[in-house]
Amino acid sequence: MKAVILRSLLRRSSTVAPSSSYLLRRGFSSESEPERKVAILGAAGGIGQPLSLLMKLNPLVSKLALYDIAGTPGVAADVSHINSRSEVTGYMGDDQLKQALEGSDVVIIPAGVPRKPGMARDDLFNINAGIVKSLCTAIGKYCPNALVTMISNPVNSTVPIAAEVLKGLGVYDEKKLLGVTTLDVVRAKTFYAGKAKVNVAGVNVPVVGGHAGITILPLFSQATPKANLSDEDIKALTKRTQDGGTEVVEAKAGKGSATLSMAYAGAIFADACLKGLSGVPDVVECSFVQSTVTELPFFASKVRLGKNGVEEVLGLGPLSDFEQQGLEALKPELKSSIEKGIKFAQQS
């Protein structure tokens, strides 16, 4: 059952080339895979718990460190009973952060507060910015070579904050800091498949820009398989993808934000990072990274993942007029979110 769930989970990582499934075909034998430690910071939260479960199912992980300020012993005990490869340890509180991080190859950060109905992403800024700053300071000290995958919102600002903190410690490597925008891709694929009436398993849609509201720019003109959708349909799909987080926040009515779909997306992205580290060729995912694709210093686009993290930031490809307009419209907001992050890191 476990293998079936995991295989179908990983098969859906459809921006990853088919060749990358070879690791799975090699089965679950621990001897055939390198040792990899993954740390999840915020592991007892709404995203953290299902993400911990999904990473426990990943055969590429040998050690899973679950860190939070509270609740991790229970989550770790629970997840550790699952009969998959990795050894799970729970770490709680500042005193144990060093141990949680040491030796990590990949650090996933879903720590922070989620959005409540009526709350703009920016309202989260001050709390989450402080959390990300302190966690990244510890990462810079205890596992400076790890790939850092940032889930904590607002990603448009938390990634620049992380970059500044790591720069301040002299350990910043732009190949190793990645904002997780996979949920935008997951949503774009799902909504497109529904509208185009095609099998979602074969759908690909790049999503570029940033990770909030209009900064999320799905490129439906590049979606495959091709479908003859009207301009109105494309507009509606774009808006629904941009507002996907709000749709879930409102439906949960005060009981949280997108946790399950985010955990799925985070697990897909971490799996792609692990495959890249293992040398699987042509692992491509969208991510918010340091970039020269536009004039902005950080931007989400397709990236090729490899043994050192981001091996190549890929360009945007041909855009429709509607997408070109969306690109110009998003730049001022994305620029100011990036600057806000940098300013916070430098001043606080």
Among 256, 314, 319, 331, binds ligand NAI (CB under 6 A): 256
Residue among 266 and 306 whose Cβ is closer to ligand NAI: 266
69 is in an annotated binding site: no
199 is in an annotated binding site: no
Residue among 23 and 131 whose Cβ is closer to ligand NAI: 131
Binding part of the chain for ligand NAI, among 11-19, 253-261, 298-306, 313-321 by CB under 6 A, reads 253-261
Q: Is 213 in the site for ligand NAI (CB under 6 A)?
A: no
Cβ-contact 118, 252 below 8 angstroms: no
Cα–chain center distance at 106: 12
104's tokens: 């990590």
Q: Is 112 in the site for ligand NAI (CB under 6 A)?
A: yes
CB atoms under 10 Å from CB of 302, counted, come to: 22
Q: Is 42 in the site for ligand NAI (CB under 6 A)?
A: yes
Among 258, 268, 280, 338, binds ligand NAI (CB under 6 A): 258
138 is in an annotated binding site: no
Cβ-contact 313, 289 below 8 angstroms: yes
41's tokens: 């910071």
Q: Whose CA is closest to 178, among 138, 215, 148? A: 148
How does DSSP classify residue 113? P
- Residue 173, C-beta contacts closer than 8 angstroms, at least 6 positions apart: 145, 166, 308, 309
Q: Which of 36, 175, 176, 211 is catalytic?
A: 211
Among 33, 68, 271, 285, binds ligand NAI (CB under 6 A): 68
Q: Is 211 a catalytic residue?
A: yes
Beta strand ranges found along the chain (DSSP E): 37-41, 63-68, 87-92, 106-109, 147-150, 177-179, 207-209, 216-218, 283-290, 298-306, 309-313
300's tokens: 């989400």
Among 17, 24, 113, 198, binds ligand NAI (CB under 6 A): 113
Which amino acids are annotated as binding site, given as ranges? 42-48, 68, 115, 121, 128, 151-153, 187, 262
Applying CB under 6 A, the residues found at the interface with ligand NAI are 41-42, 44-48, 67-70, 110-115, 124, 128, 131, 134-135, 151-153, 155, 180, 183, 211, 256-259, 262
Which amino acids are annotated as binding site for NAD(+), given as ranges? 42-48, 68, 128, 151-153, 262
Give catalytic residues, as residue numbers.
211
